Structure 1
């Protein structure tokens, strides 16, 4: 499985709301329900201005573009500067999935969007590695994204049997396609982005990241990873830290512990098996690394994820 697919699989995004939004000018909404969620929008008609919390300069999102808000930062979308923003949670029904909502008479902009709830208990740590705004304006593969959007709109409009499930699957396709297009179009050297996503977007680093994801239990060395990227060890180490914000070995360790945390949550494997599969010769060595990265030993971490009153079938040591 490729790195993007793996991370999305670990996040376990569930399409909680898929809906259309038709707004009339002037309008502004504060998206105040983003914490721990991913929101993905496509501008089907018109355009809008998007301002992230902490940023003074708005981004104009044109017709046909798609944007993703993955990190939980509050954002304001609207038609014009200076329009007082109304909280989206006060305007939009949280149970409106499958509907098209008209606001202020409609006619200025039409957006189709989905809100994804994360099913992973360690989603926050993964989401922090993404940029706060992912804007897709490229023409590459735009037709495929547009077809997904049009099919989603048809499902929302027609209400045929199975429409909700179809819209959810199409929403997932829209999210993956938007992230894929962003990776293909953006250069971290030009944008200054840092984090896991920026490293993956760097074509010279993606080979090393793919190798770590394909075989996390391998005893990767800096020399081997640099060779996967076609660089010297020094240049590779500097580039990786610049793009991702951490060393290659620190990234590998964090990825291993993320995988371990998911398997501990499932509760079907012994600690020894998990440790060995991720490249650790002993449980104590694995436990030390896990505690350092995740903030708790494996056993305590697993118990913290279990529902009250439940017992996992195999309780890992630690």
Structure 2
């Protein structure tokens, strides 16, 4: 009976988060119908709309437990299911030289992005979110990393908002940049796969350069997405070690101390998909479910964020995202030049 009362207590906040998520999906659909493409995804819209609602209206205490549940527990479920959508098999199509270049680009971008954030005096966790978002797969990476490092809601909202907006600029500018640099279709697609943060946007950026660019960009982008697993696990281990160092009373035994259950589920599903034990018929439902849960979680997260706090960190965050993107672009161009002459 006590558990039932507790779950019922989640209802107002969960329903509010669902409403914001549904409105976000409707706005995304309106974008698609009016412009033919989606510039701001439902995930970004959910956190922005949630933040706007929270800024103009403070939810009362009865909403708090449900909003917290949605922003944290539901997000963990989404991250766990995300593992079933990633397969290591795509690595074989990339080739050893390109694969090495992608791994190095992601690692260098993350480390340098964190350093840039710290130089700009951004909170460490926000610097990590921005660096991982730029280096791997934008909003999905930010959503996956946030619960692992126990990031603040304000940091997540700010990272998602600014990374998404500047990511759109990259999509528009990339075909022009590739043409100006005299890149082949293969090279242009490779550059798109290494720099653009979402698979649909890779298609949009590589499309003007032809089908070869689209194919190459998709393969490179999927390998980049594959890096999410090791990076999430690595930050989980690092965060757990930091917590142990701060509090010696924390139990040192148990794998879930270092890798939370949702990360273990993520890795297990990723492994099953990679070895072919997860049927293809299951992958699409997993992807859809994970995406929907992430949107609901981002709506809940937005409902905990005051827009004034996001705006206060504006210029530093823009500088950090921009410098990280320039660094990513430079590293990506080096890989393109190397692979196209290998």
TM-score when scaled to structure 1?
Answer: 0.27
**Larger fraction in helix:** 2
Length-normalised TM-score, structure 2: 0.26
> Which gives a bigger RCO, structure 1 or 2 (Cα 8 Å, sep 6+)?
2
Richer in strand (by share) = 1
Choose 1 or 2 for highest CA Rg: 1
